[in-house]
């Protein structure tokens, strides 16, 4: 039997209680001034049908080894595998329980099997053909494991999961550089805002379920992300270098939220910048964003608007909802596609966005 939404919330809040230091305990205190009733019910029957088909596509095309990635380049990629697992969990499917519970458990076991010993705790598939940015793999994989923590009934698997999360969190903390951010490899390097959001979100998810993360890690991250904000309210890829862009700016706002910053001029300026790119409203007209990283950008933008509250969410979600449905309508297999990555990646991202109102993923619960 699927747990209720309230059970998910209670489990998430209880797991993080009693820790005196680190991130705030609430998964999403940014929504405190609002009641759930202020969030309009924007999930239509078309959304439910599209998500059902998308999840079925993921579960029925999962690789034999439990991984995801339906192209040779991304077969077994840990970031893609973790996002697909999160998409299934966002539908209420837990490891070993629910219609697609077996698919989630197989993905979980695959990620756990990819923990490296050098450096210790590093989550990465060395046989994957796509080699760029292995810390993306580590960040998304740690997020997936942390979100699954507490949902595993098997004690042996649960202990393995907890031990792996602890080592993965320690690696992220060790790799934070002097600026307060992270880069492509598991070492202290010149940081960028894109890899940084992956790591701070993973730390926040782990913190929410009881793993200790020092407060100074979040404080340093906030300082770094603020240094990436540009005069127009967006966020650049490197601190003080280059222009803002939609995808990295959505990531910047969510990074601040994950580090515990929910109000302030940098949040308001960031949200105003993102609103200029609301689907259907941007200068390029309807359809895809006039830049790359479409699914990546909207994955974070939707989370930013959900956290910002009903004023933003009730305006943004119908726009991205309708655009994702329009993109998906011509696909017979229920998938979304991204020619630069793969169908599993795009489908997982789209399904996560469309299922945010389910409130099942602990990192986004209200």
Q: pLDDT value at position 14?
A: 37
What region does 291 belong to: left with phi over 0, alpha with psi -120 to 50, or beta?
beta
Of the candidate ranges 34-43, 189-198, 255-264, 314-323, the one whose mean pLDDT is the lowest: 34-43
pLDDT at 129 over 70: yes
Question: Which burial class, exposed, middle or buried, applies to 19 when counting CB atoms under 10 A from its CB (0-12, 13-18, 19+)?
Answer: middle
- Average pLDDT value for residue range 238-243: 92
**Burial label, 170 (beta-carbon count in 10 A; 0-12, 13-18, 19+):** middle
Mean pLDDT of the chain: 89
Contacts of 20 (CB under 8 A, 6+ apart): none
Summarize the confidence of residues 133-141 as an average pLDDT. Answer: 98
Predicted TM-score of the model (pTM): 0.90
Residue 235 has a CB neighbour count (10 Å cut-off) of: 33
Burial code of 88-125, b = ≥16 C-beta within 10 A, e = fewer?
Answer: bbbbbbbbbbbebbbbbbbbbbbbbebbbeeeebbbbb
Residue range 208-212: mean pLDDT, rounded: 96
pLDDT tens per residue across span 328-337: 988 999 999 9
């Amino acid at each position: 039997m699927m747990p209720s939404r309230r059970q998910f919330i209670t489990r998430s809040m209880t797991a993080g209680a009693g820790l005196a230091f680190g991130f705030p305990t609430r998964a999403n205190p940014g929504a405190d001034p609002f009641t759930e009733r202020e969030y309009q019910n924007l999930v239509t029957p078309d959304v439910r049908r599209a998500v059902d088909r998308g999840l079925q596509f993921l579960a029925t095309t999962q690789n034999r080894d439990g991984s995801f990635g339906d192209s040779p380049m991304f077969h077994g990629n840990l970031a893609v595998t973790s996002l697909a697992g999160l998409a299934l969990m966002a539908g209420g499917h837990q490891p070993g329980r629910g219609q697609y519970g077996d698919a989630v458990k197989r993905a979980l076991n695959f990620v756990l099997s990819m923990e490296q010993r050098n450096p210790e705790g590093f989550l990465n598939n060395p046989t994957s053909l796509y080699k760029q940015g292995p810390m993306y793999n580590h960040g998304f994989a740690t997020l997936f494991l942390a979100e699954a923590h507490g949902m595993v009934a098997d004690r042996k698997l649960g202990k393995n999961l907890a031990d792996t999360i602890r080592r993965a969190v320690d690696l992220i903390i060790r790799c934070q550089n002097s600026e307060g951010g992270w880069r492509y490899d598991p070492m202290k390097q010149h940081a960028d805002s894109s890899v940084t959001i992956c790591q701070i979100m993973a730390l926040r998810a782990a913190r929410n379920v009881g793993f200790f993360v020092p407060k100074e890690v979040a404080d340093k991250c906030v300082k770094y992300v603020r240094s990436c904000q540009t005069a127009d309210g967006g966020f650049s890829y490197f601190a003080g270098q280059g222009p803002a862009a939609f995808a990295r700016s959505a990531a910047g706002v969510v990074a601040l939220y994950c580090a515990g910053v929910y109000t302030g001029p940098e949040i308001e300026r960031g949200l105003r910048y993102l609103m200029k790119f609301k689907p259907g409203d941007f200068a390029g007209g309807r359809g895809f964003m006039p830049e790359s990283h479409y699914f990546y950008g909207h994955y974070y933008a939707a989370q930013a608007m959900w956290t910002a509250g009903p004023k933003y969410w009730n305006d943004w979600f119908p726009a991205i909802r309708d655009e994702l449905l329009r993109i998906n309508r011509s696909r017979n297999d229920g998938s979304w596609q991204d020619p630069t990555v793969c169908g599993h990646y795009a489908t997982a991202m789209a399904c996560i966005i469309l299922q945010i109102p389910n409130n099942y993923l602990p990192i986004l619960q209200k």
